[in-house]
Amino acid sequence: MGMGERIAEWPVLRQLRGEGGDRLGLRQAVESDRTHHLTARTATADRVVESICPYCAVGCGQLVYVHGDEVTQVEGNPASPISRGRPCPKGSATKALVTGPGREQKVKYRRPHGTEWEELSLDRAMDMIADRVIDTRRRSWQEHDDKGHPLRRCMGIASLGGATLDNEENYLLKKLFTSWGAVQIENQARI
Ligand code: SF4
């Protein structure tokens, strides 16, 4: 493209020519060639999955755009009665939580007095947690008080949920911990 042609493509000249009927220079007249050929990340998705923002207890609805097995974009869900498709800046960055290089993909374990993190298989980690729950429950179980009144509770296990837990997770946590006999079950968003 020669100098004359390049000058003719200046946005202000295209605006003055009224290119695309855009005399105010708000759309086509000021669009670069690169912008003109950009494709939205949502355009290539072959599936859209409804989800909930993982960050806080407001629980805004999200649409997760998926191409193959890759998440290509996460946006607010207009059908969400809470935010009607308008997530806050943190919720707008949810894709980075899923695809960012800092995301941990393996179970990490630091043994008592250890100074380094070790990698564990998920099966091994789940077995270790189950062993600890069974042992703690057995040692801290209270069948009755000093006067013989029934207690049937486990005082050695408590749960303090974070605000990123959604309704369904909190429901399951309450159900699980109550089934163990735990009575100290709380959530940060309620405190
Ligand atoms: S989009 Fe923002 S306000 Fe909504 S749930 Fe996520 S972090 Fe909370």
For ligand 1, say whether the CB of 82 is within 6 Å of any of its atoms. no
pLDDT, tens digit, 9 for 90 and up, residues 88-131: 999 999 999 888 998 888 999 999 999 999 999 999 999 999 99
Q: Which atom of ligand 1 is nearest to the CA of 92?
A: 1
Q: What is the pLDDT of residue 2?
A: 83
Q: What is the pLDDT of residue 191?
A: 67
pLDDT, tens digit, 9 for 90 and up, residues 13-56: 999 988 888 888 888 888 888 888 898 888 889 999 999 998 88
Q: Which atom of ligand 1 is nearest to the CA of 94?
A: 6
Q: What is the pLDDT of residue 113?
A: 96
Q: What is the pLDDT of residue 58?
A: 85
Burial class (CB in 10 A: 0-12, 13-18, 19+), 51: middle
Q: What is the pLDDT of residue 123?
A: 97
Taking residue 34's Cβ as centre, other Cβ atoms within 10 Å add up to 7
pLDDT, tens digit, 9 for 90 and up, residues 63-80: 999 999 899 999 999 999
R_g (Cα) of the chain, nearest Å:
27
pLDDT at 164 exceeding the cut of 80: no
Distance from C-alpha of 71 to C-alpha of 53, rounded to nearest angstrom: 14
Residues of the chain with CATH 2.20.25.90: 47-99
pLDDT at 11 exceeding the cut of 80: yes
H or E segment and range at residue 62: strand 61-67
Residue 164 CA, ligand 1 centroid: distance in Å:
9
Distance from C-alpha of 93 to C-alpha of 89, rounded to nearest angstrom: 6
Ligand 1 mutation target, pool 60, 62, 86, 92, most atoms within 8 A of CB? 60
Burial class (CB in 10 A: 0-12, 13-18, 19+), 180: middle
How far CA 2 is from CA of 5, 33, 65, 95, 173, in Å, comes to 5, 16, 42, 42, 68
Taking residues 134-146, report their average pLDDT.
97
pTM reported for the whole predicted model: 0.64
Residue 3's contacts (CB-CB under 8 Å, 6 or more residues apart) are none
Q: Find residue 157's DSSP bridge partners.
A: none
For ligand 1, say whether the CB of 74 is within 6 Å of any of its atoms. no
Please report which confidence band the pLDDT of residue 7 belongs to, taking 50, 70 and 90 as the band edges: confident
Q: Which CATH homologous superfamily contains domain 47-99?
A: ADC-like domains (2.20.25.90)
Please report which confidence band the pLDDT of residue 154 belongs to, taking 50, 70 and 90 as the band edges: very high
Residue 79 CA, ligand 1 centroid: distance in Å:
15
